[in-house]
Amino acid sequence: ADLNLQEIHDTLISVAHEAGRMMLAANPSDIEQGEKLNSVDIVTETDKAVENLVSSRLSTAYPTFAFVGEETYKPGIQITATPTFIVDPIDGTTNFVHGFPSACISLGLAVSRIPAVGVVYNPWQDTLYSAIRGQGAFVTVGAVWGLEGGKGRKNKLPLAKNPIPLTGLDKSLVSIEWGSQRDGVNYEVKTEVFKKLCAVKENGGAMVHSLRSMGSAALNLCAVAAGQLDVYWEGGCWAWDVCAGWCILSEAGGLVAGGNPGVWEPELDSRKYLAVRGAPSGQKEIVEEFWRVIGDETFH
Ligand code: IPD
């Protein structure tokens, strides 16, 4: 049966606002933290409560769909061709814990393992990014509390393709993340690539304009979609970190390539991504230039 992507999108927006109120209500000083894999892989009671809320709302509305959420994920769970909600209840948990206002709920729907709907909502800045595959991407700033499902919003703007060509990494603002893995071979890959990105080129001049980290993969992708960042590279993040943002970025004219060289069409759960903003030219060239920088420093 044909899916009503518009209806799913509107449901996700309403759930995102409900979740947003829950996040804002959490008092940072009371946030109970737990650790997952290590001391920087943090989970809070709010992450779990938001995921509970989202999964119960979505399984009631769409009982035949699959659901993959960060806090209920178990190794071995696969994303299949079935319509699947892919959810990070709080993307940017470290920022959330510190009260740094760059965190969001990331709600994606993948159909045949391709992102089809994306909703990313940062309640601290009341900024909502949304997209339906084939129908463009939008940002809604200063949404009015209580008016859910997009009604009554006046500040919904299309994320139009950035008119400025991409002319190379040395003119780019590049986003990177440490992620939660701080040892082993992937730690070496990250430090080597970060070092190369901060270096001066042989002919003088810096390799990139500068480096940034939003602390949330979804917000990195949305900033690339908005043309605020040119490039975002990360290895180690998960499908729930990228599904929604990927849909938004694609609809804004951007592209997602693989975080390791040579991969033009990465899988949703490949966990290594290189995102480039929309532009009239220079997208593929910047991907190739980035891959040259990586060289043999490849993620495992
Ligand atoms: C993390 C954030 C972070 C990224 C990590 C993610 P979480 O998600 O997106 O920016 O570097 O790879 O795991 O744990 O805050 O949901």
Nearest residue (by CA) to ligand 1, atom 2, is 216
Instruction: Report the separation in Å between the CA atom of 216 and the middle of ligand 1, taken as the mean of its atom positions.
Output: 5
More confident residue, 232 or 149: 232
Q: What is the pLDDT of residues 171-209, one digit of tens each?
A: 999 999 999 888 899 999 999 999 999 999 888 899 999
Which tokens hold the place of 7?
């209806």
Sign of CA dihedral 228, 50, 155, 117: positive
Who contacts 28 (Cβ-Cβ below 8 Å, separation ≥6)?
A: 96, 97, 98, 99
For residues 267-292, give the mean pLDDT: 98
More confident residue, 61 or 44: 61
Q: What is the pLDDT of residues 9-25, one digit of tens each?
A: 999 999 999 999 999 99
Res. 152: pLDDT tops 60: no
Q: Which atom of ligand 1 is nearest to the CA of 94?
A: 15
Helix (H, G, I), strand (E, B) or coil at 206: strand
Q: Which atom of ligand 1 is nearest to the CA of 93?
A: 15
Instruction: Report the separation in Å between the CA atom of 92 and the middle of ligand 1, taken as the mean of its atom positions.
Output: 5
Instruction: Report the separation in Å between the CA atom of 2 and the middle of ligand 1, taken as the mean of its atom positions.
Output: 33
3-state percent breakdown (helix, strand, coil) of the chain, nearest 5: 35, 25, 45
Question: Given ligand 1 and candidates 187, 216, 246, which is best to mutate, with the most ligand atoms within 8 Å of its CB?
Answer: 216
Closest CA to 13 of 133, 115, 108, 114: 108
For residues 247 and 110, give the distance between their C-alpha atoms in angstroms, rounded to a whole number.
Answer: 9
Q: Which atom of ligand 1 is nearest to the CA of 95?
A: 15
For residues 50 and 217, give the distance between their C-alpha atoms in angstroms, rounded to a whole number.
Answer: 18
The pTM of the full predicted model, rounded to 2 decimals, is: 0.95
* Residue 186: other Cβ atoms inside 10 A: 19
- Ligand 1 pocket residues where CB is under 6 Å: 70, 88, 90-93, 177, 179-180, 215-217, 234, 236-237, 241
Inter-CA distances, 39 with 77, 143, 179, 246, Å: 24, 35, 12, 28
- Residue 289 among known ligand-binding residues: no
Task: Tell me which long-range contacts 76-85 makes (C-beta under 8 A, separation of at least 24).
Answer: 79/110, 79/113, 79/239, 79/268, 79/269, 80/113, 81/111, 81/112, 81/113, 83/3, 83/109, 83/110, 83/111, 83/116, 84/109, 84/110, 84/111, 85/54, 85/55, 85/58, 85/109
Question: Given ligand 1 and candidates 73, 180, 269, 271, which is best to mutate, with the most ligand atoms within 8 Å of its CB?
Answer: 180
The ipTM (two decimal places) reads: 0.95
Residue with tokens 């440490």: 178
Who contacts 19 (Cβ-Cβ below 8 Å, separation ≥6)?
A: 50, 53, 54, 89, 105, 121, 123
Confidence of residue 43 (pLDDT cuts 50, 70, 90): confident
Instruction: Report the separation in Å between the CA atom of 278 and the middle of ligand 1, taken as the mean of its atom positions.
Output: 23
Nearest residue (by CA) to ligand 1, atom 6, is 237
Which tokens hold the place of 192?
């080597």
Backbone angles phi, psi at 118, to 5 degrees: -140, 135
For residues 84 and 105, give the distance between their C-alpha atoms in angstroms, rounded to a whole number.
Answer: 16
